[in-house]
Amino acid sequence: MRWVVGLLAVVVGCNKGDTGDIPGLGVGSDARLVSDVYTWSCAGAANTPWLGGMAFGASLEYVPDALPSRALPPRDSCSYGLSMFAGDSLVSGVAIPGAEDSPGWQNRADEGRFNTVLDGLYYSDVFKNVLSCDRVEDVIGGGIELFDAGVLDGVITPLAGDVTSVEASRDFGGGGIPFGEEISFDWQSTSYDESFVQIRRERDGVAYETVTCNTTGSTSFTLDASVWDLLDPVLTVDKNFLYVGFRNVGEVRVDAGNIVEVETRALHVVGITQL
């Protein structure tokens, strides 16, 4: 499984260090901070279900005026090739003015440092495969906030909503989903701006084909021929995964003038047992 684990009130603090010239003061978005919690099914007293945190990661992109769009297609429609994770597009940006080599993040419970993947692309793998039953909002801890991030200091991701269940019509274990297989599933969630479903066809941990459907306002989805027909049945991949995602999104302009997109997401993957 690839490293992306795929990151509204925002308070922006003072900038630190020698910021020099500030790129990206045009009309386009310049940066994106995303916190992702991958979920698995837990059950409590009286078999009451909820989704706990199986993995937690964060990504930070700084691509002034050229940040790849992550806008969903129109509601109840699907789009081929949309990048929903920083590691899919692998767009090289530039170093964040005034930032440390490894910018930091913190929330109420923890803090960490980003590793540099490419110029302007950073990732922090906080934990994975822990099978925690902490709820998504507890893992996010009120949002993650940047520090030692130069002109992006103080940017924080939104609060998380709640997802209590994602139920599929059949169990595929950890082998992914056979191409063309029809599968129905439904979910229960609250306090999320948007939801989406993405079919990801991966080889060696890299997504070679994707189809993303906007399910905002819905509580169910059927993966059928109308979606599979958007994909290439001849393409050789290791596995087909189905991601059910819920996200809160926002946008702020920091003191330096850069436009920053922020996201908090809960992601449930049908067809895996671990990341």
Question: Is residue 71 over pLDDT 50?
Answer: yes
Give yes or no for residue 16 having a pLDDT over 60: no
Contact between 80 and 232 (Cβ < 8 Å): no
Pair 97, 153: CB distance under 8 Å: no
Q: Where are the domains of the chain?
A: 31-270
Residue with tokens 């021929």: 225
Q: Using one digit for the tens of pLDDT, what is the confidence trace for 78-100?
A: 999 998 998 887 677 899 999 99
Mean pLDDT of 244-254: 95
Q: Which pLDDT score, from 0 to 100, does residue 115 have?
A: 94
| Predicted confidence (pLDDT) per residue in 122-177, tens digit | 999 998 888 888 889 999 988 999 999 999 999 999 999 999 889 888 877 777 88
Kindly tell me if the per-residue pLDDT of 3 is higher than 50. Answer: no
Q: For residue 102, what pLDDT is reported?
A: 93
Specify the pLDDT at position 22: 66
188-247 pLDDT, tens per residue? 999 999 999 999 999 988 899 999 999 999 999 999 999 999 999 999 999 999 999 999
Tell me the per-residue pLDDT of 26-70, one tens digit each, with 9 for 90 and over: 667 899 999 999 998 887 555 677 888 899 999 999 999 889 899
Measured CA distances, 235 to 104, 202, 232, 240 (Å): 39, 10, 6, 11
Query: Model's pTM, two decimal places?
Result: 0.88
pLDDT of residue 26: 60
Dihedral over alpha carbons 67, 68, 70, 74 (to 10 degrees): 120
